[in-house]
Amino acid sequence: MDFREDSFMLILALAVIAFVLVQSAAFLLKAWKQGKRIGLSSATMKNTVIQSVLFTITPALAIVATVIALAPALGIILPWIRLSVIGNISQETAAATAAIEATGAGGITVPITDKTTFATVMWVMTLASSLPLIVLPLTLKRLQRGVKKAVSKAANPVLTDALAAAAFIGLIAAFIAKALAGVGTCAVDADGVITYNYDGAGLLSVATLISSVVIMLILSKIAEKHNVNWLKNFAMPISMFAAMGIAILLTQLLPESIAHFEFRPPVVS
Amino acid sequence: MKKERTYNDSIHAFGSVWSALVLLVLLSTPLLFCIRYDVWPSLSDVWNGLWPVALITYPTAVVEIVAYTPLLGSGGMYLSFTTGNISNLKLPCALAAMDTAGVKSNSEEGEVITTIAVATSALVTTMIMAVFVLALRPFIPRLTDPSSILSPAFKQVMPALFGALGASYFSKHWKISIVPIAVLTLIVVISGSIGTGVLIPIGVVVSILGALLFYKLKWI
């Protein structure tokens, strides 16, 4: 049996997954108890859970897609473990690629057959992502004190609100800028055949972004005007799914050259 | 008199213990593999693979910790950094939850809501991944294959997610939104393949400076 996907690897993965589930449940329980203590209603906390479940489904599927993308070289289990603890899409792909290149074992699409190479990749992916676990407990308390001080110094509620909103908007702007102007990627095989990933900014990304914003604004307006409480909770996931539906629809309806049009030529990944 | 232990103190202790446990679990995975198969990679191979990645991931991790601290509460921070996928999932999920619940970050309520949102998101992601990997493995490549009808949806997750999340902020704070979107778009135009991990801290700083300037000019 392929050592990358044998029962030993599966047991390792299941142990890690069980650990993550217990940890998350422990935090959830602790926060819930504190919520009760400070007078947050059960309805508000339940709504948070429901909204978060709905919000998570699609991005989680995109993470599953990364696991699949890494599977040809690493098998399915290691990417699954790595993306369940600390890992994120871009970092794990980069770490795996660098580790495979360091051992001279080929690329990310070539299956690893040597156990030592596989162990090297495991160590690199693990060590590349473990720093926050050391830095966070040492710094977080002090950082938060600094933030609290800065907020209390600002004192003026208009300014405090504006700065809090500005921090959110700065984060969101990074993704908006990528959707508006990001360069896509493509792969070139040994015969020189180019495969486009269609992941750059173009007609589809802008159409999806605008649809998502517009649908969200309309749904929020309706929810507010007619006081539809359930819609307030579901407006965000509905807008997301609807915008992605529009992306599928445009791909089906428009000629391929228009639907896949990107503003800038893709680079080889 | 003995000072009463606050929730914040207890969540820091709780988070530190869990961080140490996660580190242990994380390191034991490759270690157990090496013991089981009696294979020991050379330090130079590990180093050669690690340093080019660590050169980016280590400073990024530090910058992320600083940038996300004002946005996520203590519980949300510890859990986000141990379960991963922060900028593409945990953080937007927590922001959306605070927005809907009408609470602010850095408030007691914000602390609870972000932790609940991040914990729920981590539970759902872990379960979805487990179900897909174990049960639906043969079908996943077909769903995500470029020729699949669903493929364009998977490629557009980020614009869909951040469009919906940003909508209420853009409409409420449209003046503040203009500067960071314009500056970051310009940066991406100049350097098209710049990583999102680098863009986010730049965006947060530019946006805060812009808001301060507008405040001073009495535009907001």
Give the pLDDT band of residue B23 (cuts 50, 70, 90). Answer: very high
Q: Does A18 touch chain B (CB under 8 A)?
A: no
Same domain for A11 and A118, yes or no, is: yes
CB contact under 8 A, A166 and B58: no
Residue B181: give the domain boundaries.
173-220
Q: What is residue A221's predicted lDDT score, i.e. its pLDDT?
A: 94
B85 domain residue, yes or no: no
A148 domain residue, yes or no: no
Same domain for A215 and A121, yes or no, is: no
Tell which B residues from 95 to 114 touch A, by Cβ distance under 8 Å.
95-97, 100-101, 104-106, 108-109, 111-113
Q: What is residue A255's predicted lDDT score, i.e. its pLDDT?
A: 95
Q: Does B63 touch chain A (CB under 8 A)?
A: no
A173 domain residue, yes or no: no
A245 domain residue, yes or no: yes
Residues from chain B contacting residue A130 (CB–CB below 8 Å): 23, 26-27
Strand, coil or helix: B102: coil
Tell which A residues from 190 to 219 touch B, by Cβ distance under 8 Å.
195, 197-201, 204-206, 208-217
CA–CA–CA angle A211, B173, B206 (5° rounding): 100
CB contact under 8 A, B157 and A27: no
- What are the CA-CA distances from residue B115 to residues A27, A175, B170 (Å)? 7, 23, 25
B46 domain residue, yes or no: no
Q: Does A56 touch chain B (CB under 8 A)?
A: yes
Reading the block at residue A62, the tokens are 């995109």
B207 domain residue, yes or no: yes
> Mind listing the pLDDT tens digit for each residue in A240-264?
889 999 999 999 999 999 999 999 9
Cβ-Cβ contacts under 8 Å for A215 (sequence gap 6 or more):
A238, A239, A242, A243, B164
Cβ-Cβ contacts under 8 Å for A38 (sequence gap 6 or more):
B108, B109, B112
Residue A64: give the domain boundaries.
1-129
Q: What are phi and psi of A177, to 5 degrees?
A: -60, -40
pLDDT higher than threshold 80 for residue A116:
yes
A225 domain residue, yes or no: yes
CB contact under 8 A, B168 and A182: no
A152 domain residue, yes or no: no
Chain B interface mutation, best of A2, A20, A90, highest count of B Cβ atoms under 10 Å = A20
CB contact under 8 A, A90 and B127: no
H/E stretch holding A267 reads strand A267-268
Cβ-Cβ contacts under 8 Å for A134 (sequence gap 6 or more):
B19, B23
The CA-based dihedral angle spanning residues A243, A249, A255, A261, taken in that order and rounded to the nearest 10 degrees: 20
Q: How many domains does chain B have?
A: 1
Please, what's the b/e burial string for A19-44 (b: 16 or more CB within 10 A of its CB; e: otherwise)? Answer: bbbebbeebbebbbebbeeeebeeeb
Q: Which amino acid is at B106?
A: N
Same domain for A88 and A22, yes or no, is: yes
Instruction: Give Cα B13 distance to the centre of its chain.
Output: 22
Chain A interface mutation, best of B29, B88, B172, B215, highest count of A Cβ atoms under 10 Å = B29
How many helices and strands (H and E) does chain B possess?
A: 10, 0
Residues from chain A contacting residue B104 (CB–CB below 8 Å): 164
Reading the block at residue B68, the tokens are 């996300």
Q: Which of A103-107, A215-219, A222-226, B165-169 has the lowest mean pLDDT?
A: A103-107
Q: How far is A150 from B72, CA to CA, in rounded Å?
A: 16
Q: How far is B94 from B72, CA to CA, in rounded Å?
A: 7
Closest-CA distance of chain B to residue A186, Å: 12
B208 domain residue, yes or no: yes
Chain A interface mutation, best of B11, B148, B161, B200, highest count of A Cβ atoms under 10 Å = B161
pLDDT higher than threshold 80 for residue B142:
no
> Mind listing the pLDDT tens digit for each residue in B191-214?
987 877 678 778 888 999 999 999
Residues from chain A contacting residue B87 (CB–CB below 8 Å): 88, 171, 174
The CA-based dihedral angle spanning residues B35, B39, B44, B49, taken in that order and rounded to the nearest 10 degrees: -80
Q: Which of B53, B92, B153 sits opposite A244 (nearest CB)?
A: B153
Residue A44: closest C-alpha in chain B: B101
Q: Which amino acid is at A82?
A: R
Closest-CA distance of chain A to residue B48, Å: 6
CB contact under 8 A, A209 and B160: yes
A122 domain residue, yes or no: yes
B22 domain residue, yes or no: no
Q: What is residue B16's predicted lDDT score, i.e. its pLDDT?
A: 94
Residue A101, CA atoms < 13 Å, CB-side half-sphere: 12
> Mind listing the pLDDT tens digit for each residue in B52-94?
778 777 887 887 888 788 888 899 999 999 988 887 789 889 9
When the pLDDT of each residue in chain B is averaged and rounded to a whole number, the result is: 87
Order across the sheet with A185-188: list the strands. Answer: A194-196, A185-188, A267-268
Same domain for A91 and A209, yes or no, is: no
Q: What is residue B207's predicted lDDT score, i.e. its pLDDT?
A: 93
CB contact under 8 A, B20 and A247: no
Q: Which amino acid is at A215?
A: I
Q: Does B147 touch chain A (CB under 8 A)?
A: no
Q: How far is B212 from A166, CA to CA, in rounded Å?
A: 9
Same domain for A86 and A187, yes or no, is: no
B188 domain residue, yes or no: yes
A105 domain residue, yes or no: yes
Q: Which of A10-19, A106-115, A216-225, B55-64 has the lowest mean pLDDT?
A: A106-115
Give the residue from A126, A54, A69, A173 showing the smallest Cα distance to B89.
Answer: A54
Q: Which of B26, B82, B150 sits opposite A126 (nearest CB)?
A: B26
Reading the block at residue B67, the tokens are 């940038």
Q: How far is A29 from A39, CA to CA, in rounded Å?
A: 15
Where does residue A249 rank: exposed (0-12), middle (13-18), buried (19+ CB within 10 A)?
middle
Ramachandran area for residue A112 (φ above 0: left; ψ -120 to 50: alpha; else beta)? beta
Q: Which amino acid is at B26?
A: L
pLDDT higher than threshold 60 for residue B3:
no
Q: Does B218 touch chain A (CB under 8 A)?
A: no
Give the residue from B102, B18, B32, B87 showing the smallest Cα distance to A59.
Answer: B87
Residues from chain B contacting residue A26 (CB–CB below 8 Å): 14, 18
Q: How many CB atoms lie within 10 A of CB A154?
A: 17
Q: How far is A144 from B66, CA to CA, in rounded Å?
A: 9
B80 domain residue, yes or no: no
Closest-CA distance of chain A to residue B9, Å: 9
H/E stretch holding A30 reads helix A7-37
CB contact under 8 A, A163 and B208: yes
Q: Among A102, A129, A156, which residue terminates a domain?
A: A129
Are A117 and A103 in contact, with CB atoms under 8 Å apart? yes
> Mind listing the pLDDT tens digit for each residue in A9-24?
999 999 999 999 999 9
Q: Which of A173-177, B58-62, B101-105 has the lowest mean pLDDT?
A: B58-62
A205 domain residue, yes or no: yes
Closest-CA distance of chain A to residue B89, Å: 6
Q: How many domains does chain A have?
A: 2
Q: What is residue B31's predicted lDDT score, i.e. its pLDDT?
A: 96
B180 domain residue, yes or no: yes
Q: How far is B94 from B71, CA to CA, in rounded Å?
A: 9
Please, what's the b/e burial string for B40-65 (b: 16 or more CB within 10 A of its CB; e: otherwise)? Answer: ebeeebbebbbebbbebbbebbebbb
Signed CA dihedral, A254, A259, A263, A267: sign only: negative
